[in-house]
Amino acid sequence: MPAPGQALQSRARAIPHLRWWIGGLLFASTVINYIDRQTLALLAPFLTQDYHWSHTDYANLLISFRIAYALGQTACGRFIDRVGTRRGLSISVLWYSFVSIATSLATGFRSFAAFRFLLGAGESANWPGATKAVSEWFPRHERALASALFDSGSSIGGAIAPFIILPIYFRWGWRPAFVIPGLLGFLWLFVWRRIYYLPREHPRITDAERTTILAETESLGSVADRRVSWGALLKLPQTWGAIVSKALTDPVWFFITDWFPLYLVAKGISLKSGLIAVWVPFIAADLGNFFGGWASGFLIKRGWSLGAARKALVVFGGFGVTLLIPTIFTMNLVAITALFGLATFCYAAFSTIANVLPSDLFTGGSVASVSGFSGTGAGIGTIIAFELIGYFSDATQALPGHSFDKIIVVAGLVPFVGMLLVLLLVRNTRATKQGLARPI
Amino acid sequence: MQIKILDDKKALGQAAAEHAAKSLRAALRENGAARIVAATGASQFEFLDSLTSAADIDWSRVELFHLDEYVGLPATHPASFRKYILERIILRTGIGLKTGITQYHLLDGEGDPQEIAKRVGSELISRPIDIAFVGIGENGHLAFNDPPADFASEEPYLVVQLDEACRRQQVNEGWFSQLADVPMRAISMSIRQILRAKEIIAVVPEARKALAVQACLEEEIGPMAPASALRNHKNTALYLDRDSAALLKASKRSVSQGSVAR
């Protein structure tokens, strides 16, 4: 078993708390992932003019990304389980960085659509890959916090993207604005190749950290050599628990981020006075992410079982998101914003658990596969939700101030249903005894 | 029960390791996988050194459990059995390196002991154990079942109190600097569960074990001599050295010595 770094072991200096450096690297990968995908959105006002795209054209570009991204998660998850985290994430980052750079060669709608599709396919590896990395490096009580950390890279990436992309655009034009973010991926790759090894074979890990991690992660081989088929995984209630936890929460997040301003407008609140309010859900979500990660870790430290500590946060989230519902009775901006903020905070705590469930429930060879399923489920759920929202809000346009009422009630209840299903599905079964799933 | 008496601790370790390696290869050949239980403690050093360097064992297909762990001790503590198992078995072999399924099950002494006992226990009993490696304590204990041991419990793991003799042994072996540092409780595999293994290999060297060995082999089978339970098991090999066998009746010593291949 010649571990890649073993020969170096005596020479290389050990890095204390190595797992948090790896957590930071996963965070950075998410940031870069988001910068790459935001480039198009930020340049859209200019590109739609240059290329005479209609809104439908632009929407189709977004959809080509979404479809590849939704389906890609299942494919990439499987791929990463096959080849291991180190190689799997290397290939996917290489892939989407190349695609981002190559987008600078686009000549019109079709080539943009093709590059967008390829970008979505490559970027979809990030969540399954990072989830698997967390399962390999973090003991139970820190796993949710580590997931929250890399997950928060999406909001940070989205927030800093304009400051990187727009100056490049104004100085050098749109083509370099795709090239330079793509180069960030290569920088990341250089560090990743040097830092990411499994704990048991890492040349720079301290003995104490290795013992702590290996004692708690219970031997996750990184590569699926006893392969569990997709069919076998989809027969397990645990798999569906992981899928619904994400598929029934993600759409609510996109509803909040994409429709909240319109909801305020529908209530007769002008966006000028509500500008700060639009930020509140984003801040609340970040806090909720970390709260969910920290709180479930705290409960485990207090002696709660893994399952109980996770489900406590799921219940917190399931009930919390129902706070959206009372907003239909008020026109008060502060009240609406406060309720949205609280609901989003609770949603985010739930969503952190949804992200970490695959690594809690599955052994090494299946973590990324199941995380991929849940990503695909979330993608499909979001597409369905958007169609329904569009339909219902148009249908009830006639009721001033209340056109969103039904949607809000549904949005408030969907994670609650998700909670009930998680409580029902996430449990120890015969598959746990057979070693297909891990005990929770 | 087969009793084998070797010249010294080193020879004992080698002979027991050869036996264990042979059984392990056989289980791997027959079932494509093997499930084993490992013991810890100073008495197992030579045995494990030999076993983990034995050739032709595909460790990536071996699933490992261990007998016991202190309650409340972190895995980084020098006396932690998880640390012991990781460093002396898992990291030296390929256990858990290749496969996607869980290949070792450590008792997390820092968690809720009842919950850990239940959780790891349910994995333990899901399929039969091929081979259990055990030792015998100075007080006659098997795993951490100090006298009077629970011979009746069907539970795979129990949360037990450690007696003073047992705790003092841990200080004398150098794992703890003083008695007060040794935890009062442990998670231990039950006697009945140990006896469910298809084969048991007991490794018991050194003079400090002689009294316990004598009690367990020559006194009545019962809770006051916990390791006497091994006499109820059909397929057990007990490896002793001259020192640990010193107090046995002469007849027993000569007969068993003859059975050892040299």
User: Which is nearest to A139 in space by CA: B126, B106, B7?
Assistant: B106
Q: What is the mean pLDDT of residues B187-200?
A: 97
Whether the per-residue pLDDT at A7 is higher than 50: the answer is no
pLDDT at B254 over 80: no
Contact between chains at A433 and B98 (C-beta distance less than 8 A)? no
Query: Containing H/E element for B202?
Result: strand B199-204
Mean model confidence pLDDT for chain A: 88
Average pLDDT of the residues in A137-162: 91
On whether residue A52 sits in a domain, the answer given is yes
pTM across the whole model: 0.84
- Tell whether the model's pLDDT for residue A393 goes beyond 80: no
Domain CATH for A397: 1.20.1250.20
Q: So what's the pLDDT on residue A277?
A: 78
Number of compact structural domains in chain A: 2
| pLDDT bracket for residue B13 (50, 70, 90) | very high
> Which domain does A323 fall in, by range?
230-434
Predicted pLDDT of residue A403? 75
What pLDDT is attached to residue A167?
Answer: 93
Percent of chain B with pLDDT over 70: 93
Q: Which of A212, A223, A363 sits opposite B76 (nearest CB)?
A: A212
Chain centroid to Cα B99, Å, comes to 25
Mean pLDDT, rounded, for A238-249: 96
Shared domain for A175 and A243, answered yes or no, is no
- The verdict on residue A407 lying in a domain is yes
Identify the CATH number of the domain in which residue B27 sits: 3.40.50.1360
Query: What percent of chain A lies above the pLDDT cut of 70?
Result: 93
Residues with Cβ within 8 Å of A173's Cβ and at least 6 positions away in sequence, in order, are none
Q: Helix, strand, coil: what percent of chain B each, to 5?
A: 40, 20, 40
Asked if the structure places residue A319 within a domain, the reply is: yes
Domain around B163 = 2-258
Which residues 6+ apart lie within 8 Å of A437 measured at CB?
Answer: A236, A238, A361, A362, A363, A428, A429, A431
Residue A440 within any structural domain of the chain? no
Mean pLDDT, rounded, for A430-438: 74
In a domain, A122, yes or no: yes
My answer on whether A320 and A364 are in the same domain is yes
pLDDT of residue A227: 67
Of the pLDDT bands very low, low, confident and very high (cuts 50, 70, 90), residue A155 is confident
Sign of the Cα pseudo-torsion (A394, A381, A339, A281, in order): negative
Q: What is the DSSP string of A324-363?
A: GGGGGG---HHHHHHHHHHHHHHHHHHHHHHHHHHHHHB-
Same domain, A391 and A280: yes
Structural domain count of chain B: 1
State yes or no: pLDDT of B262 exceeds 50.
Answer: no
Average pLDDT over residues A410-426: 95
Higher pLDDT, A133 or B122: A133
One domain for residues A194 and A239: no
pLDDT tens per residue across span B87-144: 999 989 978 776 545 588 899 888 889 988 988 898 899 889 999 999 999 999 999 9
Residue A224 in domain: no
Say if residue B74 is exposed, middle or buried (CB neighbours under 10 Å; 0-12, 13-18, 19+): middle
Token pair for residue A196? Answer: 């990411």
Token reading at B167 = 């705790």
Question: A185 and A306, same structural domain?
Answer: no
Per residue in A336-375, pLDDT tens?
999 999 999 999 999 999 999 998 998 778 899 999 999 9
Share of chain B above pLDDT 90, in %: 78
**Of A156, A191, A217, which residue sits at a domain end?**
A217
Tokens of A77: 């998850």
Q: A297 and A197, same structural domain?
A: no
Residues from A in contact with B at Cβ < 8 Å? 1, 81, 200, 208, 210-212, 214-216, 218-221, 223-228, 300, 303-305, 363-366, 428, 432-436, 438-439
In angstroms, the CA A36 to CA B254 distance is 79
From A217, A243, A264, give the residue that closes a domain. A217
CB contacts of B124 in chain A (<8 Å) are none
In a domain, A253, yes or no: yes
Q: What is the pLDDT of residue A413?
A: 94
Asked if residue A225 is part of any domain, the answer here is no
The CB-side HSE value for B145 (13 A sphere, CA atoms) comes to: 30
Do A395 and A263 lie in one domain? The reply is: yes
**Tokens found for residue A343:** 């609901």
DSSP-derived pairing of the beta strands B157-161 and B236-241: unpaired
Sheet with B157-161: list strands edge to edge.
Answer: B68-70, B185-189, B157-161
pLDDT 10s digits, B39-59: 999 999 999 999 999 989 999
Pick among A83, A212, A214 to test the B interface (most B CBs inside 10 A): A214
Q: Are residues A336 and A204 in the same domain?
A: no
User: A161 with A35: CB under 8 angstroms?
Assistant: yes
CA B45 vs CA A199, B50, B144, B237: distances in Å: 25, 9, 18, 18
Task: Using pLDDT thresholds of 50, 70 and 90, give the confidence band for residue A6.
Answer: very low
pLDDT category, A304, cuts 50, 70, 90?
Answer: confident
The pLDDT assigned to A383 comes to 85
Picking from A217, A242, A258, the residue at the C-terminal end of a domain is A217
What are A404's two structure tokens?
């969103």
